[in-house]
Homo-oligomer: A and B are copies of this chain.
Amino acid sequence: MATIKDVAKAAKVSVATVSRVLNDTGYVHSDTKSRVTQAMQELNYFPNEVARSLFKRESRLVGLILPDITNPFFPQLARGVEDEIHANGFRLLFGNSDEDREKELAYLQTFKQNQVVGVIAVTNEPESDMYKDDIPVVFLDRTVSNAPSVFADATTGGKIAAMELIKRGSRQVTLLKGPAHLQTAQQRFRGALDVLTESGVDFHVMSTASFSFQEARKSATALFQLYPETDGIIASNDIVATAVIHEALRIGKTIPQEVQIIGFDDIPQSELLFPPLSTIRQPAYDMGQEAAKLIIKAIQKQPIHQPVIQMPVSFIERETTRKVESQ
Q: Which residues of A contact B (CB under 8 A)?
A: 1, 46-51, 53-54, 59, 61, 68-70, 72, 74-76, 78-79, 82-83, 86, 91-96, 107, 109-115, 134, 213, 242, 245-246, 249, 268-269, 272-275
Contact = CB atoms under 8 A, between A and B. Distances in A.
A79 B91 contact: no
Nearest to A239: B272
Given A50-B59, A69-B78, A273-B274, 16 more contacts: A50-B54, A50-B113, A51-B54, A59-B114, A61-B114, A68-B79, A72-B75, A91-B95, A92-B95, A93-B94, A213-B272, A242-B272, A246-B272, A249-B274, A272-B273, A273-B273
Given A93-B92, A94-B94, A50 B269 contact: no
A113 B74 CA distance: 28
A113 B2 CA distance: 11
B72 A69 contact: no
Contact of A274 (B47, B61, B69, B274): B274
A299 to B, nearest CB: 17
Contact of A93 (B50, B91, B269, B273): B91
Contacts of A78: 69
A113 B72 contact: no
Contact of A46 (B112, B245, B246): B112
11 contacts: A1-B112, A48-B115, A49-B115, A50-B53, A50-B113, A74-B75, A91-B110, A92-B95, A246-B272, A246-B274, A274-B274
A259 to B, nearest CB: 15
A59 B111 CA distance: 13
Contacts of A213: 272
A92 B94 contact: yes
A-B residue pairs, 3 tightest by C-beta: A274-B274, A269-B269, A49-B113
A272 B272 CA distance: 9
A188 to B, nearest CB: 21
Contact of A70 (B76, B96, B107, B112): B76
Contacts of A115: 48-50
A269 B82 CA distance: 24
The residue in A50, A82, A86, A94 that gathers the most chain B C-beta atoms within 10 A of its C-beta is A50
A109 B89 CA distance: 12
Contacts of A110: 49, 91
Contacts of A76: 70
